[in-house]
Structure 1
Amino acid sequence: MDYVAPKDFIKKMIDAGEAKVFMSTRDTLIRAYMAGAILALAAAFAITITVQTGQPLAGAILFPVGFCLLYLMGFDLLTGVFTLVPLALIDKRPGVTLAGVLRNWGLVFVGNFAGAITVALMMAVVVTFGFTQAPDAVGERIGHIGEGRTLGYAEHGAAGMLTLFIRGVLCNWMVSTGVVAAMMSNSVTGKVLGMWMPIMLFFYMGFEHSIVNMFLFPSGILLGGQFSFWDYMVWNEIPTVIGNLVGGLTFVGLTLYATHSRTAPSRPQPATAARALDANTVAAE
């Protein structure tokens, strides 16, 4: 059967988290770098579609192509390791420590950022013809996205910070659901379909994804956005990273682990139900 039952894919989740803890520094960085770069290209692709069609839904429908590609090639996003890696620690896998979990998160963050920045620089060259002219329509859109999603939050003070955090939580609730959905199938078609739906949802709803933002906001600064790198870190990236961690681990990793790996004992059956069950068993025999 193509479908993988929850009790089986939760084991895949824990195994994947354990493998990432013990992965070499070189491989962790390479896989994270490529994931950040591919997701950044997907974001640029989605914005281009939105600008050219005037339909944000069209961009959201096609954005998941990048997520599906990077997942199928075995690359790692920070949002995914936030959900998977702690499960190996919670499951008490031999040799998995908190230091190992934090090491993985740190390396993936650095790799994702480097990949996203690379694409940000490349796209800035493309939309300005090598910085010899003003940004084209796509560049203009990218340049102004960061203003509303940094200074726009800052205008609301604590309420803005809370909103930003919640958007980060909701984002990785969906993104990590996509990561897990890929484990529910043994076929490429099933994996892609499972990933596509929640990723499309998060992008269209405007939730905050720390790696997508690693592309959008540095791009915005390069293309004339009226906000600073400090604005980006304080009023977007840091709260988004924290929200992504809480959303993925709390609403996806821990809930699945609690109910499918550490299932609570079943409630005792009433005597009448037990007798009926015995009677049916005898009849069947």
Structure 2
Amino acid sequence: MSYVKPADLAVRMIEAGAQKSFMSTRDTLIRAFMGGATLALAAAFAITVTAQTGNALIGAMLFPVGFVLLYLMGFDLLTGVFTLVPLALLDKRRGVTVKSMFRNWGLVFLGNFLGAFLVAIMMAIYFTTGFATPPNEVGQALMEIGHGRTVGYAEYGAAGMLTLFVRAVLCNWMVSTGVVAALMSDSVPGKVIGMWMPIMLFFYMGFEHSIVNMFLFPAGLLLGGDFTVMDYLIWNEIPTVVGNLVGGLTFVGLTIYMTHRRTAPSRELLVTVPQRERVTTGA
């Protein structure tokens, strides 16, 4: 399997960020919509597996299939563009501006939300037979997730908000590692292996992913979860978006950029050559 060295990887990341910044509104929205919808379906699948088997590890091992598929098809997630687009700005790529960066982020956020929300509506219909029956076991699990990861944080006040933020930072540290890992190989098996491990880790650990949550919490509300829209926004989505930005950009984008693109000058190697011992003759 092909391997792209870190210095070349940094260039690929910058080029990918610039390309996303220049993308048309139509294409950005379509790709973000499908990215959000695909990841939401993967989340629904993983939660179904977990609820029916009682084994969260199996669900986490299978969840990355959605992430892998959406990136192989060229779709976008907010968590990915948080990491890549700023690098094109830092590298002073022509035409990439702060305005174009925020434009990209806003369009991807909107597209991701619309795609995830559509899947939330469809899954709510599926889990309740068109709202004619109470939610099935998977629907009940979604309701519990929605309550526990909003009101559950709120019960602890500032400590709960800090925990939410840290879990969001850790999440995009792993998710952006998966995004970048896909650029480290030119072969499909290499890309899949690179993406699978960090995505499985984030899902099993219960870290907070803003796009996955765009599905989980609206679905929980539609199913009758014991929390409100404001609970979802204040005690999950908004802090999660901020934490995802910090995690992906700080621990993945900037670290790779600084050490492999803007590499510091190497230290001089000081070699001390021992003096030859004086040879004396006579006494």
**Is 2:66 the counterpart of 1:66?**
yes
Q: Which runs of 5+ in 2 are unaligned?
A: 274-283
Q: Which residue of 1 aligns with 2:255?
A: 255
**TM-score, scaled to structure 2:** 0.95
Q: What residue identity is the alignment partner of 2:164?
A: L
What is the identity percentage for the equivalent residue pairs of Structure 1 and Structure 2?
A: 73
Q: Which residue of 2 aligns with 1:38?
A: 38
Displacement after TM superposition at 1:132 (Å): 0.6
**Is 2:161 the counterpart of 1:161?**
yes
Q: Which runs of 5+ in 1 are unaligned?
A: 274-285
Q: Which residue of 2 aligns with 1:76?
A: 76
Instruction: Look up the SS of the partner of 2:160 in the other structure.
Output: helix
Q: Which residue of 2 aligns with 1:136?
A: 136
Q: Which residue of 2 aligns with 1:265?
A: 265
Q: Which residue of 2 aligns with 1:220?
A: 220
Q: Which residue of 2 aligns with 1:177?
A: 177
Return structure 1 stretches of 4+ with deviation > 6 angstroms: none
Q: Which residue of 2 aligns with 1:86?
A: 86
**Number of aligned residues:** 273
CA distance in structure 2 between the aligned counterparts of 1:120 and 1:100, rounded to whole angstroms: 30
Q: Deviations over 1:45-71 (max 9, x none)?
A: 000000111100000000000000000
Q: What residue identity is the alignment partner of 1:141?
A: A
Q: Deviations over 1:173-223 (max 9, x none)?
A: 000000011111110000000000000000000000000000000000001
CA distance in structure 1 between the aligned counterparts of 2:42 and 2:143, rounded to whole angstroms: 17
**Is 2:13 the counterpart of 1:13?**
yes
**Is 2:114 the counterpart of 1:114?**
yes
**TM-score, scaled to structure 1:** 0.95
- Structural RMSD (CA): 0.8
Q: Deviations over 1:67-113 (max 9, x none)?
A: 00000000000000000000000000011100000000000000000
Q: Which residue of 2 aligns with 1:103?
A: 103
CA distance in structure 2 between the aligned counterparts of 1:226 and 1:51, rounded to whole angstroms: 19
CA distance in structure 2 between the aligned counterparts of 1:168 and 1:123, rounded to whole angstroms: 25
Instruction: Look up the SS of the partner of 2:20 in the other structure.
Output: helix
Q: What residue identity is the alignment partner of 2:49?
A: I
Equivalent residues in 2 for 1:226-245 (5 A)?
Answer: 226-245=226-245
